[in-house]
Structure 1
Amino acid sequence: MSDIHINQVLAQMRTMSIEAGAKPVAGNDSGEFAAMLKDSIDAVNQTQKTASALSTAFETGRSDVSLAEVMIASQKAQVSFQAMLQVRNKLVDAYKDVMSMSM
């Protein structure tokens, strides 16, 4: 690498360092993300509980629960669980990528 390229890279690094130092320190963003993730998991759990309760009610012969309601609730629970599973997989992949980066 020539001296010109090295000097350009060093100048860019200094500029980025100054810009990074000028930005305000972020608050507790990880807490907000964790809360959002927990709320999402709780919503999926509630969807699964509702589907299970409807299924049990239909199996016991309650007349106010139709098969269509049970099937729709079951499919909603399955789709929401699959979506949560895909989000988890993406988070694990991102974590592995970050951990494999060399410093």
Structure 2
Amino acid sequence: MSDAISSILSQIRAHEMRSRSVLADAPPSGAIAPGPAGAKPGEGAGFTQTLNRAMDGVSKAQNDAGALAQAFELGDPRADLARVMVAMQQSQVAFRATVEVRNRLVQAYQDVMNMPV
């Protein structure tokens, strides 16, 4: 389980490093730079976007595994049992890792909120 969490965290860190390199290539602060569609001014590729991409990846893995399982049940020759089982396990591990990351974030938030001022 800790390998899956480490994998998710390394993916988040990689996304963060990529977003930092994009921000480093940005024009000076006085210049107007085009941003992502729907982004508010001053809002870069931050933690929220990285977390959303990770959640989208988990959702995609679950949807792909479900579609592959359905294809196997319908008798599609391209969907063999081994591929279905591997896809299901990958989606399950990704979901469990996401839940663990969420639990740790909630715990960290609670720890910060309980700190004396």
Q: What TM-score do you get using the length of structure 2 for normalisation?
A: 0.62
What does residue 39 of structure 1 align with?
Answer: 53
What is the alpha-carbon distance in structure 2 between the residues aligned to residue 90 and residue 64 of structure 1? 39
What is the alpha-carbon distance in structure 2 between the residues aligned to residue 49 and residue 28 of structure 1? 30
1:70 aligned to 2:94? Answer: no
Q: What is the deviation of 1:28?
A: 5.3
Task: Tell me the secondary structure at the aligned position of residue 43 of structure 1.
Answer: helix
What does residue 59 of structure 1 align with?
Answer: 73
Structure with the greater alpha carbon radius of gyration: 1
**Counterpart amino acid of residue 64 in structure 1:** R
Q: What is the deviation of 1:82?
A: 0.4
What is the alpha-carbon distance in structure 2 between the residues aligned to residue 65 and residue 94 of structure 1? 42
Higher relative contact order (CA 8 A, sep 6+): 2
**Counterpart amino acid of residue 97 in structure 1:** D
What is the alpha-carbon distance in structure 2 between the residues aligned to residue 65 and residue 56 of structure 1? 9
**Structure 2: where are the runs of 5+ without partners?**
1-41
What is the alpha-carbon distance in structure 2 between the residues aligned to residue 66 and residue 46 of structure 1? 20
**Which aligned runs of 4 or more in structure 1 are off by greater than 4 angstroms?**
none
**Counterpart amino acid of residue 91 in structure 1:** L
Structure with greater proportional helix content:
1
* Matched-pair identity in %: 45
